[in-house]
Amino acid sequence: MFVRIVLPFAVVLLSAAAGPAQDTRKELEKLQGEWTMVSMETKGMKARDDVVKQYKLTIKGDQWTVTTLKGVGGKATFKIDPSKNPKTIDLTFEFNKKGTPSRGIYKLEGDTLTLCRTAGDRERPKEFKTTEEAILVVWKRAKD
């Protein structure tokens, strides 16, 4: 009798635990692919269009690779949490010897990915705007 009561309860717990992981996996799948930068703003100043057009982003698995016309601009691993509001992202860049993540927030609307993140070990932005410590970047999914 005890097994009959515990077993259904255990199944419910396992199902509930699988939910957030499955949501994260689905969200990660949506981010995969090639992206082209359409705008970048730092400390309230927008980058020039000719600069912005040089940046490409490739997301493959948990790998985040930014390239420019001159080559690789930065490689990172990343983790997301789509259950937060706004959704959170932590990027750990290869060049960061301490392994401190760049904390950020993101939103994915159709083929537009908006990212607001810090550089280094700073507090995560709470809204999509630049500050002294946060940059705002908008990416569009590259067309095949």
pLDDT digits (tens, 9 = 90+) for 61-73: 999 999 998 887 7
Cα–Cα distance measured from residue 88 to residue 79, given in angstroms and rounded to the nearest whole number: 8
**pTM as predicted:** 0.82
pLDDT > 70: percent of the chain: 84
Q: What is the CATH number of the domain that holds 86?
A: 2.40.128.280
Q: How many domains does the chain have?
A: 1
Q: Which helix (H) or strand (E) holds 16?
A: helix 2-31
The chain-wide mean pLDDT, for the chain, equals 85
In which domain, by residue range, is 98 found?
A: 2-141
For 65-101, give the DSSP string.
Answer: EEEETTEEEEEEEEEEETTSSSEEEEEEETT-TT-PP
